[in-house]
Structure formats: C-alpha cells, structure tokens
Structure 1
C-alpha cells in the first residue's frame, strides 16, 4: 500500500482543516445515554482554580474507567502541569513521572527514545495510534490535553511494543463555549514562541464544534552554533450527526528544523574537560522533519450499553538533512575524528481500528466488554550517504575547534525500504465480581508481515509472525479510598533485519508482573505504589562468530518499585512526582557481561513539583511553586562499563498571577546552574543538560 512522501505531506492537511479526530473525547464519557457530550466535560472546563486531580483513565483499558479500578500503574500528566512548568515539548513534561528516563534523542532530530521501568522504548501514541512509525518530530505540547504513561507490558491493547511501558498523548477537543486564547513565551537561549488556542461552535445549532491549536517557535541554544524552529497547526472538528452518532476528524502538521547535535565528548571516560557549550558538529548541518497526520473517529451508541467506535489514522512525513558526528578520538586526547552524513528518510502509515464496547450482566457479575480489530500498513525508505573517517578524518581539535573545513566525500551508502502489514484482533473483559473485587482479562493476537530490502547489498528478507499478548489483572477494594491490585502480562515485538545467514531475527518477547496499592486521599490526591518484575528475551546482540552481524540471543531483566503522587493536597496546593528504584541488568548476551547494567538507567531517581495558589482575598490568583528532579549515576556506554554519567539534583521554581482572562508566569529551571548530563549513547555522544533557564510566559483568553 504505497503512501506519498514529503511532497505530499501537506495534501491531506488542506482538506482536513474541516475535519478532526481523537480518542480523548472518550475520556469525557462514562455511562451516557447517547453520544451527545457536555462540551464542558470533554476538555473545556475552564475552572476557576487549576487542578492536578485525576479521576478517570482511558489508556489503561481503552474504556473510561475510574483510576482505582485499573489493575496497572498509569501515571497521568494533566494539562495544568504543562502550563505550570512552561513545557513546550512532551519530553519536558515527563520529568515528573517516576521511572521514566531519557535515552537517545538522535541528535535532537525526532521522537526521542524513553526508558520506562528500565527498558528503552519509542512507543508513543497519539489518541491510541502509534506515532513512532517513522521519524516524526518531538511532540509539541500546544494541542495536548493530558499524557498517560502505562507502566509494564501493554501489548494486550496496543500490539507490538516494549514491555517497560507506553506513552499515550491525548489531545485537546472541541468545546461548546466559544473562546480564543493567545499566548507568548520568551526566555533564555533566544527562545521565542507564539501560540493560539481557539474553539467553539461552527453551526448555529451547535451540532458542529471546532478547536484549533497552533504554534510558531524559534529557539537558539546554550550550545554553540545550534538553533532550531518549528511550526505546528492542529485543527479539530466534531459533528454531532444525531443524538447517537458523532464524527470527529483531527489533523496535525508539524515542521521542525534543528541543528544536528550529538552533544559532548568524554575524554578517556572523563566528562567536563571542555565547556558544556562546545559544539562538535558543523554549523549549518541542519535537519528538517516534516510530517502530517489525519485521524478520524465515528462513534455510534446503539443504546445505553453498547457503543461502536470506528477510527482511522494516516501519517506521512520525511526527515532530510546533513549531520556531522564524532566517531573516535586519537591517542593525543584532543583530535576528534568525525563522520559526515546526508540522510533522506520518508515514511507513510495507515491504521484502521474498529472497537465495540458493551456492558451487560451474567448473573451477579457485571461486564464491560471491549472487542477490537486493527489493520496497519507502514512503508518507509531510508537513504544514508557517509564519509569514511579513516580515509578522510574531518578532524576537529576538542580544545581549539576550527569549523568550516571542506566537507569530505561520501564513500559509503546505505539504502533500504521496509513494508509492514499487521492485522490484529483484541478482546478485553472488565468483570465486577462484587463491589470489592474486579477482574480484568484480555488478549491481543497480531498477524505481522514484514518485507525488508537492503538496496545496496541486494538482500531481501521477509517474515511472517503471529504474536500473542495476554494479560490478567485483579483489584481488591476493602475501603472506598483503597485499592490493592496485581497483574501479569506479556508483550511481542518483531526484530528488523537479518543475521549472517540472511534469516530474519526471532521477535522480542516480554513478560512482566506487578503488585501495587492505590490510595485516594485528602482533597483529590492520587497515590500509587507498585513493585514490578519484567523480562525481555531475543534481544539483538553481536554475533560472536561475525562481529559485522547480530543474533537474537540476548536477554535482559528489570525489577524494582515506584511510587507516584498526583493531585490536590488541599484546594490551594497541588503536587505531582514520585520515586523509582530500578535494577535493570543483562541476563544473557554473547558479548556483554551478564549482570552489567542497562544504558542510561539509574537505580534511584525521583522528582516532585508543588504549586500553591491563593484562592481568595487581595492575592487571589497568585501562585508560587517549586520542584526538584534527582537522577542517580548510570551507565553511559553499553560496551564500556567504566564510563558512567554522574548523578545530579536540579531545582526549579515558578511564580505566576492569574487575573480574570490573563495569566503571566515566570519559570526558572535549574536554579543553581548545575552542570549535568541527561543521556548518552556512548562516550562520544553525551547529551548535555541545559544551564539555568529563565522563561516568561503570558496568555490572554477572550
């Protein structure tokens, strides 16, 4: 199923301004008689007081379920957290989710890898559809309503995925109350950003509603010669066709330009020998990620108990540009060898879903049944031209860099295409055994086909796999504010490529279980604690018989516990944060030492953000808050256990004032200007954390 490339990214978006879609609208529905929604409960509750309160979840079951009834840890980042922290990227918002760490960000070019409960993943969903197929730009927060992070295997609902966890972004939806909100943000490192959020009725009878979010941003960097800009346009339209039927179509266009920057270099495993601002690429080596997507959802209520959802998702895009990256260091400890590359990646994704949700009783048991069918087609091409450092070093002096050297010739090339087809059926039953006991059973079966073609080597491989992803969970609620739960689940993810005998790799498989407790306290404070154990098999590792190839023979394990808190301590005081202890290690490998830790995974990490807002009197609307983020030491290079990133503790502060339709805020991140390193791929690609950042923001709503 061919899908257009970069030249056609904009085509579906022109017409889609009249359409829009999202799974978020389901979050507003509980047991309504028809599909008609009160728009103030969909997304548009413009409450007098901001809140972090979390009552219902969607992502953990694909049905609207009270948080305490879900037998899984699901951490939620409400929209107000994004506003309080002045977060412009989703990655920043995840800083206050325990057990979520930063992995490779591919030189700040596209969606970053995250680690959830010790395992790296790129499984990021937008309204239940995977947007990690391809090289979409890092998600913007402007059109985000909330972020839900599912801990542990989630393949029973979302298909092929990593067992550590899954991130699902829920977007803003149309509202009946007309409004326009304009915002501006500026701050350190040449940051400047303008945003627009508008919504309301299109038709006189209110049956057609719209929402539009847009952002224009420009940002330099504390890193020398590094800058970027982005454009976001995200329209949504919802048509209430009848009291029982609604159509929503949503579109998004995102263009992101960014200088390719792999970070700093560790000299003989030592960091800090060069200024944290020093850049080791080439000025002007920019990459442009451009993508467009359209999501459609048709909802129909047959009666009060049975509902049908039919949804579609189309995403096309490209990532093109130049990059210069370090490959090694000479024995003199200062001459850095570099490789020059040109990349041209394109992709196209089409996914269709149909889900039937029904509620019924069998004797004393109440059921909420979910039956789903999904089909996906994904096509991608990758072309990469490379220089050869041993022939043309393209060297740079670490301590006295001179840029602008003649670019070395391209002497190597890589070109490949991948075609994926996947059909899945999934079934889930949430069973209320009694007021205290609730059981969840589910399974997803994926029928996966992949054709991979190496155009340069002339190799072609094809694989057909069938993957099963079952799960079971049990909740016991002895008190109205207390839930005890446990779950067990499995995951499945095909490996791409082939071994030395041109055979496709066996798929990765994951298995995990957890036990936990959920508490609802005070004025709306949600607390969750969980202990977990997760294993992953058939991890790709170097073939000991031929180091130019890999084999699916590795195994890793992660275990530990995490504690999360989000909500209102009092009506005035809101908090979000938590703590995670993670013991993640290699359990089988042909090259790596058994017991060696996994890349970028600290044993200890935690964060806490608290905000207090005055509710009455002369100071009403005045808010002040602060946060702390702590990350322990961790491995910085999988092949070199001597290289470790040091731990760090960062402090943040914020202050704002809300008066009628105006909000003005000041944020200071990394107050004490701590030098830290947030991620690493190896000793030559180390991500440097930002110095002290000051941000001023202002929004006005009309």
Structure 2
C-alpha cells in the first residue's frame, strides 16, 4: 500500500514541477525619472489579475509563477504618476521590465475620497488637522495615528485595542471611554472629520477603518464642541483604483470566532467608478463572566470620478453588537481594606437573562469639485443613527447597609434598568479653498460653514427598580436613613429590605432575574434637540522655510430640553474660537512648530435649564493650549518622529456638590491644568522591518476649586507616565523567507479613581506574534499579555473597576487574491 502512495506523491510532485517550469517571471527596477534614485514601496501588478509585488529598497520587484499570456503591467505609488506597459509572456520566460516614474502634478483632493494605497505603518497626510490635505510634518499641532497595517498585525477589532499605540491616550474604563492628555473625552468623536455623538458602551469596530487618528488638544476652531485633551477621528477605508481582495478567518481564546473580508477595485473600464466592501463577523465570550458578544459589520463604499475636476464618495456602515453590558468588577468595600484581588478579575454582576443590544449606522457623502485651477468647492454630509435595547441587573454604585446605616463591604446594593433609546446625528460641512500667491507668500485660504445636529426623538423610555421597600411594602424609598427607620420594611435582623435583592460578593448567584417582583418606575426619555451653526476662516501661509496657520471660528449653539413638548426650553450659547500655528523648517528633515488654540464646550440645556435641580447658573467650559515641538523624517522619510511639549488649561468643570439634601446638585470646580511631553516614533526602517513607539509624561491636577482640599489633587485615570512599542521583522530570503516575528509592550503608571484612597496600580504588559506568508496566504499567531500580568486598564470606584485581559492568543489565516 505504501508503494502506490509514494508513486502518487512523486507523480503529483512532478506535475507541480512541470507546471512551475511552464510559468513565467516578471522582474525589473523602478527609478525616479528626475533623480534616478530607486523607488521603494511602489505597487506593481498585472491588471485584472491577482499577480503583484512591491519594490524593495533598491527599487526592484519580482512577480513569479505567472501563467503565459498577454498582460498590462501597472505601477502605482503616492506622489508618482500611474504607469503601464503591455507585455507578453511565454512559458518559462523571465521578462525584465523597468520604469522611470514622473512625480504627479495632480493635487490631493480636499475631501478624503480616494483610498490610501500605502501598505505600511506610516501615514504621510491628514485632513483632520486643517480640513485640507496637509503633510503631517507641516501641521503645527501633534497628530498621532494607527494605520490598518498595525491593526491587522495586532489582530485588533475595536478602537480600545489600538489606543495603546498612541502617546497620551489611556483607557478610562472598558467602554468607548478614554483619557487624552489627562482629560476624559466625552461622547464627541469624528468619523471622516465629521462630528458625531452616539453609543458609549461598546468601543466601535475597526475592520472598516483605514486608520485611527487623534488630533491632540482642543480642536474647537475646526469642529466646534470638542474636548480639551484631544479628539479621536475614525477614517474609513475608501475605494482604490486597483483590484485588491482579501478574506480572513480567526479563532482563539475566550471562544472567539471571527471572519472579515475586504474587496476593492474599479467597476468599469475607465476606472471612473470604484467600489469597496468590508464585512466582519465575530462571536466570542470574554474573560469576564456573563459577557458573550456577537458583532456584525457591513460597510460598502463607492467613489465616482467622472473627470479630473470632480470626485464623489458614498459610504454606508452598519454595525451591531448583541451581548450584555459589562459594568465592571466590584471589589470588597473600603471598610474591609482596599484589596483589588478580593474578587477575581472575571467577576461580574448580572443575571443570565440580561441583554444589551446596540445598533449603529451611518451614511456619509463627500464631494470635491475644482471650480478653477485654484478654487475648489468641498462638501460632506453625515447621517448617524444609534439604537439601544437594554435589560440589566447592576449595582447602584453603593454597598448595602445594615439597620444602623453602616456599609456591608461584601454586599452590593442593586438596581435593574430596562431602557430603549434612539438618537440621530446630522453633520453638514461645506467650504471653499483658494490657492493664491501674494508676492513671495503662498496662501491656502479656506472659508466654510458647518451645521451639526443631534436629536433624541419621542419614544425612548427607561424602567428602573432600586432603593429600599417602605414599611407597608407598597413602594420604595431610594435611600436608607437610619434616623427614620420606622419608614422602612425591616427584616428579622433589623436591616432594611431592598427592592432588588443585594448581590453577595462572597456567594454570588447567577439566575434568571424576575423583574416583575420589583417596584419599578417607568420614565420617558426626554426628547431633545441640540444643534450648532459654525462659520470659520483659515489661512495656511508659506514663505520660504516658514509656514503660518491662522484660523477663526464663530459658533452658535442651540439646545432644546423637552423638544416639541409643552415644557420646551431653549438654551443658546455662542463662542468666538481662535487658532494660531507656526512651522519652521530647521533642516530638510526636521520642522519645528508652535501653536495656540482655544476650546469651548457649552453646558447642556438639561443642566442650565433646571437650576432647581442642579443649581447654577453655570458658565460654559473653556480651554486653551500652548504646544510646541519638532517633527522629523529619517532614513529617506521611512521613519518619522514627533516630539511635543504642551500645557492645557480647562475652566468651569462641573462636579457633584455632594449635597445630602440634593444628590443631583452640581458645582463648578474651577480649573484643571495638564502639562506634558509626548514622543511618537513610527516607520519602516527596512521594507521588512517596521516599528512604532510612544511615550508620554503628563501631570494633570486641579489648580482652582472652592474646596481647597482638592487643589493639587491629580485627576482621575490620568497616569503620569505611559508608553509602548511594537516591532515587526520578516525574513526576506533563504529557506526561512516569509517568516516574521513581532514583539511589543505597553506600560501605564498608577492612577487615581473617583473614590479617595483607591489607586489603580501601574502595569507593564508584553505581546508577541509570529507570521508566515507564502504566495497569497498569510498565517499569524498573536499572543497577548504573554507574562499573564494581572492589571486594571481603568475604573471608577470600588464598585466598578475594569481589569485587562489575562494571557490570550488569536490564530489567523488570510488569503489575498
């Protein structure tokens, strides 16, 4: 039996060798037509096939195992004109084809419509810092980013999994919740430079993203209401004018199953209509109890280029997460000592029938049209929708109390929430850009108008059960006061009877919760409407080695409480917001810069419009930042660095007044100041060696407050030191060709929480990966937290801490065709 099998194997091998000998090879070299220097990272492919390659540091490429026939050999590279040559390949032939590429004279579109073709860790151009296509080196403000290549190499699936690659960004909790330069960001984020405010409980999926980028410091002069520490922008993948297709399958720890795909290319012969389709699916548990999730993403995109003056893009993204809401890990109360290990990091509170289903969808349309050679009209519109359906058994953020009102450190006071909610965002931005010259000065003038709106329609509602039962057991009292114990229903031990049974941290019970046994209160979600109108002008001025950026924005805010109801109330606010920046080229490799920007955030209508509940009146939040630093490009710009020094000041922060008579009463803290240093390093030192690294020092403290005890206190979840690195090396020749290795890690020092005395310890976590690429296949194994370090990425209090994942792995198989 062994002999026939051996003969069959030899026959198949001979057929493979014969087949390989019949195939052809295309190789060559690509040079810059002006300088004669070799060009690295140029994409070379045979049109309408899966055959392709990328040039190395010597400008050389090689495409092997090509079927005989007639082809069009095409080159594409950012900054160089597309080139093509007709070739004919015979069986067994090795054909050499060389190219001399001309730099392109085509201007980058002012709105990001055409996809990024690079396949490296680097990104050279951003729209988020000036609303125009500007080289990052020429932006007078720190902008950090993570490209899709890093996302793929680290097998990341949500934004929370990639922020460790960005200096000065730290997780605040387990949600879409971060600290930037010491300040917690709100729900305002950007999608393709358009502001949205939507879901918070689950960090967004990133399979359809080209990159995640952060503009550091206030960005109100560009986008209106933004946070002082910085703004996250999610840039979606756009269609390409070349065929690229890939599918990917992954499995690993926590019963994870994942599948993704990415298809793009032209839809017609003249390449005036391009498409892209990204799909993603994941089913997983987590290391946290009761936290299974199912994620779905569907993201089609079209680009229409009818001529060289007009470009139109259309994106639609639908994403959904079906699971449970993770409120974090509770630990024993302070009266039992601060012991983060009093419960395991997997410990969660909830019941088996809890659920939390979130749906997000957004549609964006962008157009740019060149009216003349130096005037362009640009417009973008985004429609964003969010839906939430929730049932949860969660803590009331308090420990249970006995009849004397003393906390029981091993029992949690509980509540249930049933909520349905919808919200919608509209964002329209339109502006003109004018390129002109006055003497030796070159200007890029921009003038525009923004309309931003968020609405919560009628129909949202929540049902809540909490507190302690009254003496007649006919209702509840929200809090227990031992001085009035006769008003409460007491058990045989003289302790108040909770409306929702307490959760025992020592002997937890997970069942199907029956909410019909509780006294509940149903409350409609107040319909609201918030909108703003912004008018802004900006001038980017260049003179020899000097560049100036001057911007000014006038913003008008309108906020309605009880929108279209009898008790409708409108609150109006406005602000004039300046921005100034300067860049000076010290050398061809290094630019120095400085900037001054201001920020503005209106207080909500619900807060300002209800002084009987919240107090007030309250002034809006204002901020300002001074930043200076240097940006450099090394090894022929294959490695870039950004060094920044900054001071950010925020005023009029609202905090709880801790009033026993009115638990909702607020007060304005006064002032908070952040001072820090950041360093980002990213690039591809060699075609097969990529690195990125970051470090941040930040000191954020309360500098003014009516409560003198708070002055000098460090802000919550604002580590003084944090950083990380990631490096990948792939063997390029020999018997081990195609095998790659990656090593990375990140660290965070200790952080404060909202509970005085509760500190989250610092940690260092290491990750590693192994890759193997052969032909169009790529196999990867990622190992996260390889030393199994117990750590906490963020947290609020004793009742809600957010541990990081223990040691875990993910296996991936991908095919490109």
The match for 1:550 among 650, 666, 673 is: 666
Pick closer, same or farther for the CA change 1:243–1:358 going to 2, 3 Å: same
- 1:380 matched to 2:449? The reply is no
Conserved? CA contact 2:173–2:801, under 8 Å: no
Q: In 1, distance between residues paired with 2:639 and 2:188?
A: 28
- Does 1:233 pair with 2:298? yes
Q: 1:562 aligns with which of 644, 663, 678?
A: 678
**What residue number does 1:486 align with?**
594
Q: Secondary structure at the match of 1:479?
A: coil
Corresponding position of 1:116: 180
Residues 167 and 292 of structure 1: CA distance in aligned 2, closer, same or farther (over 3 Å): same
Question: What is the CA–CA distance in structure 1 between the aligned matches of 2:728 and 2:260, rounded to whole Å?
Answer: 24
Q: TM-score, normalised by structure 1?
A: 0.90
* Secondary structure of the structure 1 residue equivalent to 2:600: strand
Using the TM superposition, name which of 184-193 and 124-133 deviates more.
124-133
Cα distance, 1:616 vs. partner? 2.9
Deviation of 1:124 (Å): 2.0
* Alignment match, 2:531: 421
SS in structure 2 opposite 1:82? helix
1:288 aligns with 2:364: no
* Alpha-carbon offset, residue 61 of structure 1: 1.3
Match of 2:703 in 1: 587
- Closer, same or farther: CA 613–373 of 1 in aligned 2, 3 Å: same
- With over 3 angstroms needed to count, the CA separation of the structure-2 counterparts of 1:677 and 1:157, relative to structure 1, is same
Structure 1 CA distance for aligned equivalents of residues 564 and 651 of structure 2: 30
Q: 1:506: how far off?
A: 2.6
The counterpart of 2:399, out of the listed 329, 334, 347, is 329
Aligned to 1:697: 812
| 8 Å Cα contact 1:58/1:65 also seen in 2 | yes
> Does 2:687 correspond to 1:571?
yes
Give the Cα–Cα distance (whole angstroms) in 2 for the partners of residues 28 and 311 of structure 1. Answer: 25
Q: How does 1:86-105 map to 2 (within 5 A)?
A: 86-105=155-174
Distance in 2 of aligned mates of 1:412 and 1:199: 48
1:13 alignment partner in structure 2: none
Mapped partners of 2:169, 2:567: distance in 1: 37
**More moved, 159-168 vs 542-551:** 542-551
Greater relative CO, 1 or 2 (CA 8 Å, sep 6+)? 1
- Give secondary structure in 1 for the equivalent of 2:160: helix
CA–CA distance in structure 1, aligned partners of residues 147 and 385 of structure 2? 28
Over 3 Å counting, the alpha-carbon distance change for 1:537 and 1:152 in structure 2 is same
Q: Is the 8 A contact 2:173 2:793 kept in 1?
A: no
Change (3 A) 1:428 1:35: closer
Q: Rate the CA distance shift 1:63–1:85 in 2: closer, same or farther, 3 A.
A: same
State the match for 1:274 in structure 2: 343
Change in 2 beyond 3 A, CA 1:252/1:446: same
1:216-255 equivalences under 5 Å are 216-255=281-320
Could you list the per-position Cα deviations for residues 70-128 of structure 1 after superposition, in whole angstroms to 9, with x for gaps in the alignment? 111111211111011100112211111110011244xx4xxx12111111113321101
The Cα offsets for residues 345-374 of structure 1, whole Å up to 9 and x where unpaired, read as: 211111211121221111111111122211
- Choose 506-515 or 278-287, whichever is displaced more: 278-287
Distance 1:529 1:333, change over 3 A: same
From 654, 667, 670, the equivalent of 1:540 is 654
Counterparts of 1:644-683 in structure 2, within 5 Å, are 644-683=759-798
Superposed displacement of residue 227, structure 1 = 0.6
Partner of residue 397, structure 1: 504
| Separation (CA, whole Å) in 2 of partners of 1:136 and 1:447 | 30
Q: Which runs of 5+ in 1 are unaligned?
A: 1-26
Contact 2:197 2:454 survives alignment (8 Å) = no
Equivalent residues in 2 for 1:41-80, closer than 5 Å: 42-45=115-118, 51-80=120-149
Describe the SS at the equivalent of 2:510: coil
Which residue of 433, 442, 450 corresponds with 1:366?
Answer: 442
Q: CA deviation at 1:228?
A: 0.6
- Residue 35 and residue 222 in structure 1: after superposition, are their counterparts in 2 closer, same or farther (change >3 A)? closer
The question of whether the paired residues in 2 share the 8 Å contact of 1:329 and 1:337 is answered with yes
Q: Go from structure 1 to structure 2 and tell me whether the alpha carbon gap of 1:478 and 1:147 turns closer, same or farther (over 3 Å shift).
A: same
Q: What is the CA–CA distance in structure 2 between the aligned matches of 1:541 and 1:32, rounded to whole Å? A: 54
Q: Paired residue for 1:470?
A: 578
Match of 1:3?
none
Contact 1:31 1:304 in 2 (8 A): no
Q: Does the 8 A contact of 1:136 with 1:317 survive in 2?
A: no
The 3-state SS of whatever aligns with 1:91 is helix
Q: 2:424 matched to 1:348?
A: yes
Aligned equivalent of 2:639: 525
RMSD: 2.4
Offset of residue 390 of structure 1: 2.9
Report which stretch shifted further, 544-553 or 218-227. 544-553
Decide which of 306, 322, 327 is 1:262's aligned counterpart.
Answer: 327
Residues 1:584 and 1:35: Cα distance change in structure 2 (over 3 Å): closer
How far apart, in 2, do the equivalents of 1:336 and 1:543 lie?
24
Change (3 A) 1:40 1:319: closer
TM-score by length of 2: 0.77
Partner in structure 1 of residue 487 of structure 2:
none
Cα distance in 1, alignment partners of residues 142 and 105 from structure 2:
26
Deviations 1:271-296 (A, max 9, x none): 11111112212223111111221101
**How far did residue 149 of structure 1 move?**
1.0
CA deviations over 1:472-491 (Å, ceiling 9, x no partner): 01111120111111111001
Which has the larger displacement, 538-547 or 252-261? 538-547
Partners of 1:40 and 1:655 in 2: CA distance: 34
Residues 1:83 and 1:35: Cα distance change in structure 2 (over 3 Å): closer
Deviation at 1:137, TM superposition (A): 5.0
| In 2, Cα distance between equivalents of 1:504 and 1:344 | 31
Worse overlay, 315-324 or 599-608 = 315-324
Using a 3 Å threshold, how does the CA distance of structure 1 residues 410 and 275 change in structure 2: closer, same or farther?
same
Q: Which residue of 1 aligns with 2:619?
A: 506
Q: 1:205 to 1:477 in 2, by over 3 A?
A: closer
SS in structure 2 of the partner of residue 569 of structure 1: strand
State the match for 1:202 in structure 2. 267
State which drifts further: 260-269 or 612-621: 612-621
Contact conserved, 2:603 with 2:621, CA < 8 A, in 1?
yes
Q: CA deviation at 1:501?
A: 4.0
Does the residue aligned with 1:698 lie in a helix, a strand or coil? Answer: strand
- Measure, in 2, the Cα distance between the counterparts of 1:283 and 1:442: 54
Give the direction of change, closer, same or farther, for the CA distance of 1:141–1:512 in structure 2 (3 Å limit): same
For residues 231 and 129 of structure 1, the distance between their equivalents in structure 2, rounded to whole angstroms, comes to 23
Match of 1:608 in 2: 725
**Alignment-derived partner of residue 543 in structure 2:** 433
- Taking structure 1 as reference, are residues 380 and 137 closer, same or farther at Cα in structure 2, changes over 3 Å only? farther
Deviation larger for 615-624 or 646-655? 615-624
Contact 1:358 1:369 in 2 (8 A): yes
Q: Which has the larger radius of gyration?
A: 2
Paired residues in the alignment total: 662
1:53 Cα shift? Answer: 2.5
Q: CA-to-partner distance for each residue in 1:185-219, whole Å, 9 max, x for gaps?
A: 11100111111111122223321111000111111
On the 8 A contact 1:153/1:489 being kept in 2, the answer is yes
Structure 1 runs of 4+ aligned residues shifted over 6 Å read 27-31, 34-37
Aligned to 2:558: 449
| Distance across 2 between alignment mates of 1:85 and 1:425 | 41
Q: Does the C-alpha gap of structure 1 residues 133 and 428 become closer, same or farther in structure 2, counting only changes over 3 Å?
A: farther
Question: 5+ unaligned residues in a row in structure 2: which ranges?
Answer: 1-77, 81-102, 401-406, 470-498
Contact map agreement 1:135 1:317 (CA 8 A) in 2: no
